[in-house]
Amino acid sequence: MTMERPLTPTTSPDALAPVLRDIRAVVFDTDGVITDSARVHAAAWKTAFDAFLRAHPPADPARRLPFDVRDDYLRFVDGKSRLDGAAAFLASRGIDASDETVRDVASDKERLFTERLRAHGVDAYPGTVRLVRALRRAGVPVAAASASRHAGELLARAGVRELFDVLVDGGEAARLNLPGKPRPDLFLTAVDRLGVPAGRAAVVEDALAGVEAGRSGGFALVVGVDRAASGDSGERLRRHGADIVVRDLAELLVRGASK
């Protein structure tokens, strides 16, 4: 569980940076934004995809590259449902996969992810926890949203589920038949449950498909979180719809400022 350092009597609470002061609600993606579970997802995808590619190598030798946990993860699977992510990556390797094959690869990834999650758990990013607490102190409602059916478990294991007023996860998305990112329906459902129009709210995302969803959903502010900070990763987030890009969400706070 992530623990915050208690504030001393002489320290004022974190205040929101000016870019957030007109925002009336915030929707946070889960993996890679609230929790460090993106690395667990990426590792599970790599094991599943690499095993499939070894057993079924693409016809084109140039496409027989193993899954890259940074570039391929961000481009093809991050922020998407398991089935959409599996189909997108296999297509990138020139594989015309059947629905059954896509389901098999996605199921293998699900098994691997669940095993690693139960064995090792996840943590919440301290900067994210600080920002969520500052938003709550300012009276700004917050939601967590994720294409993953594990989002509730992830937040609970990280000790932060109670910080979020609303959670819309992959199970809820399936029940409501919500299309996946880059469609904005997941985020729009979350902000609607907070009672705030998208035009007065912000989305915080680390995935290219996620910032696209925030932009197409008409959110007032789309924040891209660039954990990798490598190559052109930040610029790609901007090109796909992020208004601003930060490496850590503590950058959206003014440390020790008065409320």
Which of 56, 85, 120 represents a domain boundary (last residue)?
120
Residue 64 in any domain: the answer is yes
Give the pLDDT confidence of 135-190 residue by residue, as tens digits.
Answer: 999 999 999 999 888 899 899 989 999 999 999 999 999 999 999 899 999 999 99
Domain of 103 in residue numbering reads as: 38-120
Residue 161 lies in a domain: yes
What residues act catalytically?
29, 31
Q: How many residues does the chain have?
A: 259
For 222-247, write each residue's pLDDT tens digit.
Answer: 999 998 777 788 999 999 999 999 99
For residue 80, is it within any domain? yes
Q: Are residues 175 and 219 in the same domain?
A: yes
Which of 90, 120, 150 is the last residue in one of the domains? 120
CA neighbours closer than 13 Å in the CB half-sphere of residue 7: 12
Residues 60 and 91 in one domain: yes
User: Are the beta carbons of 42 and 227 closer than 8 angstroms?
Assistant: no
Among candidate residues 126, 192, 193, 189, the one with its CA nearest the CA of residue 160:
126
Clarify whether residues 161 and 206 are in a common domain.
yes
What average pLDDT score do residues 7-26 get? 82
Is residue 4 assigned to a domain? no
In order, the DSSP letters of 181-216 are TTSSHHHHHHHHHHT--GGGEEEEESSHHHHHHHHH
* Token pair 């950058």: residue: 251
- My answer on whether 91 and 202 are in the same domain is no
- Domain presence at residue 245: yes
- Inside any domain, residue 106: yes
Asked if 225 contacts 30 with a C-beta cutoff of 8 angstroms, the reply is no
Domain boundary among 91, 120, 149: 120
Q: Do 67 and 127 fall into the same domain?
A: no
Residues 73 and 151 in one domain: no
Domain identity same for 174 and 222 = yes
Q: State pLDDT tens for residues 26-61.
A: 999 999 999 998 888 899 999 999 999 999 999 899
**Residue at 7 is within a domain:** no
* CATH code for the domain in which residue 142 is found: 3.40.50.1000
Angle at 214 between CA 211 and CA 220, to 5 degrees: 120
pLDDT, residue 91, reads: 96
Pair type for strands 166-168 and 142-145: parallel
The pLDDT confidence band at residue 257, using thresholds 50, 70 and 90, is low
Q: Quick one: which H or E segment has residue 143? A: strand 142-145
- In angstroms, how far is CA 91 from the centroid of its own chain? 23
184 and 77 together in one domain: no
Find how far residue 105's CA is from the centre of its chain: 21
Contacts of 88 (CB under 8 A, 6+ apart): 76, 77, 80
Task: Of 184, 237, 192, give the one whose Cα is nearest residue 32.
Answer: 237
The pLDDT tens digits for 189-215 are 999 999 999 999 999 999 999 999 999
The total number of structural domains that make up the chain: 2
Q: Residue 56, SS3?
A: coil
How many Cβ atoms from other residues are within 10 Å of residue 161's Cβ? 17
Q: Coil, strand or helix: which one is 67? A: coil
In a domain, 144, yes or no: yes
DSSP string of 11-37? -PPPEE-GGGTT--EEEEESBTTTBTT
Tokens (6 digits) for 53: 């590619």
Are the C-beta atoms of residues 208 and 78 closer than 8 Å to each other?
Answer: yes
196 plus 238 within the same structural domain: yes
User: Model confidence over 62-114: pLDDT tens digits?
Assistant: 999 999 998 898 889 987 889 999 999 999 999 999 999 999 999 999 999 98
27 and 127 share a domain?
yes
65 shares a domain with 182: no
Query: Are residues 23 and 131 located together in one domain of the fold?
Result: yes
Separation CA 52–CA 46 (nearest Å):
10
